[in-house]
Structure 1
Amino acid sequence: MKRAGPALFSGEMDFCREVLNRLHQKREVRNSKETEMKTVITNTLDGRDILVDGNRIAALGTPAMIRSMAGPDARILDVQKSMALPGFNDSHMHLRMTGQMLTGCRLDTAGSITEIQSILRSCHEPFVHGMGWDQENLLEKRMPERRDLDAVNPDIPIVCERYCTHILTANTAAMKLAGVWREDGIFQEAACEPLLEALDSQAARHIQAGVDHCLARGLTTVQIADLKTGNWRKLLPLYRDASQRIRIHHQVNITDPKEMEDFLREARLYETDTHTFGPFKGFADGSLGGRTAWLGREYADEPGNCGEPCMAEEEMETFVEACDRLNRPVIFHAIGDAAIRQVLAVYRRHPGMKQGILHLQITDEAILQDLERLQTDCMVQPVFWRSDRNIVEQRVGTRMARTSYAFGWMASHARVSLGTDCPIEDCDPLENIRWAVSMPGGLSEKQALTAYTEGSAWAMGRSRDLGKLAPGYLADIVFVRDGTVTGVMVNGQMTE
């Protein structure tokens, strides 16, 4: 018999220490709840007071009624005529990547490759990471290439991600560090991963910066697609720590059935009321801006190119079967109509599962009817219309463009939640709602607000206790006055 080495015993000891730590944390949470005071939220815009008991809403009513229920020791929170709303819940974003954008070189305002170079030269990090460029906004109307980044500095690694995050450009030093090479330095989809691994050492700082930004925007819950094959064991403790300030729900990018089982077994150790695990996520295609979204017909502005599927249907079937067997929800990133049709075909063979599709941008009438018939969770980003309105007809043609971005129709006929895919777009719920209401065939204000609260709670399986201002629901509340977020309460506690 082979004897267990020191590394194995060390791993077992780490596991035991983590179990004891979790038990200690549970005791601390239980003890803290025993001593929590009641809070009266008063002076709201509609005149109703709200009684919060611990981390839940106990009652809503007249000031006199709520004061009599609260008792003399209750804390009083005067919100100065702010509107009290259920906390905004972004149904799809990237928390760590948001922090990377905030702490790195922002390229979203660059109007030329020369401007990109100037911004990069101002960054003095040992590994320069730029995010947000879009060739459609550049004077040159092309993607930056290796030679452009080498002109900034050939010796320091530089990686610049397109705003969609499905494409990046690397300089010579970055490619040498990652052990990869392409003459133009342009990488797409999974080929980007080796070039981004050097950023792992800054993960904790990036996550906390992302949390700060989300809270400032009025978000109380974020459904994030950050965990994936290769990083989840390292990142789970960091996200559990971050969830003490904001509610975090994971959409997990793992499609291998064996690794899915491993993840579920180990992730339970990190689960709390504010740190939860939702669907496994697959990719059906790429991005519209990069012309990698999979269309049923060739791109109108690039004949011969229909984009590309990320998974064969047989592979997709195996993945969904594994989710079904493990009793887990499933979602797919699908932008192009061919990709959406492929996902729906697989979903039809697995009735009774909780199933969702992210993005849902290029649709026809048959797809819309299928979404209604299957009641698929539609997890959409209306704020995408801000940039995509300038390219959608060029990419897919006038006829297909007319039935695309049909988010208002989805809100009336299927289950819709709103998100931003931040940092693709900023995670500002109020801005997203403005685009949801103003886009052609958009949502009503009531539909948009419902989709951002109740709809997103439904998407994460928490509609029983999240997304409403009602007795028994979790006290996740955002306060808004004159179009500005004035305060955020998460789990019964005001955030700084």
Structure 2
Amino acid sequence: MGTLWQGGNIYTMKAEMDKVEAVFTANGLIQDTGSLSELRAKYQEEIDTVHHLQGKTMFPGFIDSHLHIIGHGEKLIHLDLSALQSPEEVLQALRSRSTQLAAGEWLIGEGWNENQWETPRILHKDELDAICPENPMVLNRICRHALLANTAAMEMGGINRDTADPQGGVVVRDSTGEPTGYFLDTAQEFIKAVVPSMSEEHLTAIVQTAVDDLHQYGLVGGHSEDLNYYGGFTKTYNAFKKGIDGIKRKFRAHLLVHHEVIEDMAAAGLDYHQGTPYIEMGAMKIFSDGALGGRTAWLSEPYQDEPENSGINIHSQQRLESLVQMARKYGMPVAVHAIGDKAVEAVAKTLQKFPLDNGRRDRIIHAQIVNEELLGLLEQLDVVLDIQPTFVASDFPWIIDRIGEKRLKYAYAWKSFLNRQIPCAAGSDAPIESVDPLLGIEAAISRKSTANGETYQDHERLSMYEAISLYTKGSAYASCHEHDQGKIERGYTADFTILDKDPFTIDPEQIHTLKVEQTVVDEEVVYQRIQ
């Protein structure tokens, strides 16, 4: 028995403006599409439910191609600093939270961003110590490539003026050589290693909290990288299996596998695309550089506003190659974080040197700064670029100070990628940005800064169809699911995102005003907007 979906705008995403009048689903799959009369006649004995869309608009289910599901859940339960507009507001929020702490309890904050403060600066450990000297404190920067820690946390991590910088990281110091409490990229591990581990039950609850929230944004799935943290592969994978059990919660979780736990995955008898009906293993995750906000993204030329600095390469070229070879030993594709053009170049050349020949597909995550030569190289590779459209809205105009006008031509070059037939998928990088795909779609089309309302790089704007495709067909292609996800077509999953209005008929700069009416996973309505 099955369900007939009809009574609204149904976009298949097979081609631009391709629509059908009705869809018949059964056993979690799309069985047929066509006219209402045809499907009624053909499946009259099998239809036991008719789902009337009431004039709403249905798409294939939106999938976020790059987020951190547990991190998103943490942001929902920890102290959220992302909307605060000054260091004074941050310090006041910390004071308020500190009054709620038990003796020795950690104060954990998420998402501070000095670039949205009128006078950007980095808080010093002394300011944190003045708030709660006895309680360890860790404050994750919005990019999660930097954190702040107070003295209590640093002492627990064994940090002092003699602590050496690790490969791919920096312990920021003052003019006397004393650590300031600011840790970049791999140096964060000094602090993260001593933050108390969560129980599996608590981790499961965070997964559930995150998924419930993701559903309300119309997301039926997401590609996430969590398995190397929170107590290791087994514990984290168990939390996902319990949190997304396919009974109480349904969500398509495609989990990237950090290179440090790839052997744990293999020991568990798992391979690419294996897992449960709702949780599967993805590509092997590697970090090759940092982020632009903290000036740790690896650039071919120095930062405009810090001429002695070109960023950080997390791994030497030899180490990067050995990691890709490790993935190839397991027949695995890789998904490599690379923001700066030097990092993208190192990754692209490594993929060219060690190609994958089993039909699985490599990914480069972010690729925010490229150049003409790199575009030519990327065209030759069987690689998908995971882009984050909302970065345009949040990074401009401060990014111009970082990289200068000259490099803007090939910065956040989404349209250039598509024009050269370089496959792209879109995500939010939540909790770094809002997980709302409608904000990403609007940013891809308008390229308007949320800081000053100005538009940047008109020539890189996407069409409505291109932008929505990134969250449907694009995400499916990135995870090698182009034959069963991302379209409304026979044999594809019965996963849908239903909006209150047709985005093709409204002002693109009003996309954020659309409402998700329903989210459907495996034929089941997992979210219903309350009128």
TM-score band w.r.t. shorter chain: 0.7 to 0.9
Match of 2:336 among 332, 354, 357: 332
1:70–1:320 distance in 2 versus 1, CA, 3 Å: farther
Matched, 1:409 2:416: yes
Matched, 1:168 2:166: no
Asked if structure 1 preserves the Cα contact closer than 8 Å seen for 2:233 and 2:264, the reply is no
Residue equivalent to 1:33: none
Matched, 1:493 2:498: no
Asked if structure 2 preserves the Cα contact closer than 8 Å seen for 1:453 and 1:468, the reply is yes
Deviation digits for residues 116-153 of structure 1 (CA, Å, limit 9, x no counterpart): 01112332353221111111222442112211222222
Residue equivalent to 1:184: 180
Residue equivalent to 2:16: none
Match of 2:441 among 428, 433, 450: 433
1:246–1:181 distance in 2 versus 1, CA, 3 Å: farther
Deviation for aligned residue 1:88: 0.6
- Matched residues in 2 for 1:67 and 1:146: separation? 68
Question: Which stretch has the larger CA shift, 108-117 or 93-102?
Answer: 108-117
Matched, 1:55 2:60: no
Match of 2:256 among 247, 251, 260: 251
Asked if structure 2 preserves the Cα contact closer than 8 Å seen for 1:392 and 1:401, the reply is no
Asked if structure 1 preserves the Cα contact closer than 8 Å seen for 2:389 and 2:444, the reply is yes
Matched, 1:146 2:125: yes
Q: What letter corresponds to residue 271 of structure 1 in structure 2?
A: G
Deviation for aligned residue 1:51: 1.1
Matched, 1:350 2:354: yes
Deviation digits for residues 289-319 of structure 1 (CA, Å, limit 9, x no counterpart): 1000011111110011011100111111111
Aligned-residue CA RMSD in angstroms?
1.9
- Matched residues in 1 for 2:519 and 2:399: separation? 36
1:384–1:155 distance in 2 versus 1, CA, 3 Å: same
Match of 2:393 among 386, 389, 393: 386
Residue equivalent to 1:64: 37
Residue equivalent to 1:395: 402
Q: Secondary structure at the match of 2:270?
A: helix
Asked if structure 1 preserves the Cα contact closer than 8 Å seen for 2:372 and 2:410, the reply is yes
Asked if structure 2 preserves the Cα contact closer than 8 Å seen for 1:38 and 1:70, the reply is no
Deviation for aligned residue 1:39: 1.6
Asked if structure 1 preserves the Cα contact closer than 8 Å seen for 2:259 and 2:323, the reply is no
Residue equivalent to 1:5: none
Q: What letter corresponds to residue 410 of structure 1 in structure 2?
A: F
Asked if structure 2 preserves the Cα contact closer than 8 Å seen for 1:39 and 1:70, the reply is no
Residue equivalent to 2:313: 309
Deviation for aligned residue 1:155: 1.8
Matched, 1:283 2:287: yes
Q: Secondary structure at the match of 1:291?
A: coil
Deviation for aligned residue 1:350: 1.7
Q: What letter corresponds to residue 526 of structure 2 in structure 1?
A: T
Match of 2:373 among 361, 366, 379: 366
Residue equivalent to 1:214: 214
1:72–1:53 distance in 2 versus 1, CA, 3 Å: closer
- Matched residues in 2 for 1:139 and 1:431: separation? 24
Deviation digits for residues 416-449 of structure 1 (CA, Å, limit 9, x no counterpart): 1001111111111111011111123122111111
What TM-score, normalized to structure 2?
Answer: 0.82
Asked if structure 2 preserves the Cα contact closer than 8 Å seen for 1:236 and 1:267, the reply is no
- Matched residues in 1 for 2:228 and 2:253: separation? 16
1:420–1:295 distance in 2 versus 1, CA, 3 Å: same
Asked if structure 1 preserves the Cα contact closer than 8 Å seen for 2:333 and 2:356, the reply is no
Q: Secondary structure at the match of 2:31?
A: strand
Residue equivalent to 2:238: 237
- Matched residues in 1 for 2:415 and 2:48: separation? 43
Question: Which stretch has the larger CA shift, 384-393 or 119-128?
Answer: 119-128
Matched, 1:93 2:93: no
Deviation digits for residues 359-415 of structure 1 (CA, Å, limit 9, x no counterpart): 001111111111112142111001101121212221112111112111111122211
1:494–1:252 distance in 2 versus 1, CA, 3 Å: same
Residue equivalent to 2:263: 261
- Matched residues in 1 for 2:210 and 2:352: separation? 37
Q: What letter corresponds to residue 359 of structure 1 in structure 2?
A: H
- Matched residues in 2 for 1:437 and 1:235: separation? 36
Question: Which stretch has the larger CA shift, 186-195 or 110-119?
Answer: 186-195
Q: Secondary structure at the match of 1:192?
A: helix
- Matched residues in 1 for 2:391 and 2:226: separation? 20
Asked if structure 1 preserves the Cα contact closer than 8 Å seen for 2:3 and 2:26, the reply is yes
- Matched residues in 2 for 1:151 and 1:341: separation? 44
Asked if structure 2 preserves the Cα contact closer than 8 Å seen for 1:40 and 1:70, the reply is no
Q: What letter corresponds to residue 239 of structure 1 in structure 2?
A: F
Mind listing any 5+ residue stretches in structure 1 that lack a counterpart?
Answer: 1-36
1:65–1:287 distance in 2 versus 1, CA, 3 Å: same
Residue equivalent to 1:127: 106
Of Structure 1 and Structure 2, the greater helix share is in 1
Deviation digits for residues 249-286 of structure 1 (CA, Å, limit 9, x no counterpart): 0111125xxx5233223163981121101100111100
1:490–1:59 distance in 2 versus 1, CA, 3 Å: same
Question: Which stretch has the larger CA shift, 125-134 or 162-171?
Answer: 125-134
Deviation for aligned residue 1:179: 4.1
Asked if structure 2 preserves the Cα contact closer than 8 Å seen for 1:411 and 1:443, the reply is no
Residue identity over aligned pairs, in percent, reads 31
Question: Which stretch has the larger CA shift, 62-71 or 203-212?
Answer: 62-71
1:194–1:80 distance in 2 versus 1, CA, 3 Å: farther
Deviation for aligned residue 1:192: 1.9
Deviation for aligned residue 1:176: 3.6
Deviation digits for residues 34-58 of structure 1 (CA, Å, limit 9, x no counterpart): xxx4122222225722211011011
Match of 2:304 among 300, 304, 319: 300
Asked if structure 2 preserves the Cα contact closer than 8 Å seen for 1:159 and 1:171, the reply is yes
- Matched residues in 1 for 2:242 and 2:486: separation? 23
Residue equivalent to 2:189: 193
Question: Which stretch has the larger CA shift, 198-207 or 341-350?
Answer: 198-207
- Matched residues in 1 for 2:153 and 2:44: separation? 60
1:228–1:66 distance in 2 versus 1, CA, 3 Å: same
Asked if structure 2 preserves the Cα contact closer than 8 Å seen for 1:113 and 1:139, the reply is no
Question: Which stretch has the larger CA shift, 120-129 or 427-436?
Answer: 120-129
1:146–1:267 distance in 2 versus 1, CA, 3 Å: farther
Residue equivalent to 1:377: 384
Asked if structure 1 preserves the Cα contact closer than 8 Å seen for 2:338 and 2:365, the reply is yes
Asked if structure 1 preserves the Cα contact closer than 8 Å seen for 2:205 and 2:243, the reply is no
Deviation digits for residues 144-166 of structure 1 (CA, Å, limit 9, x no counterpart): 22112222221222211110011
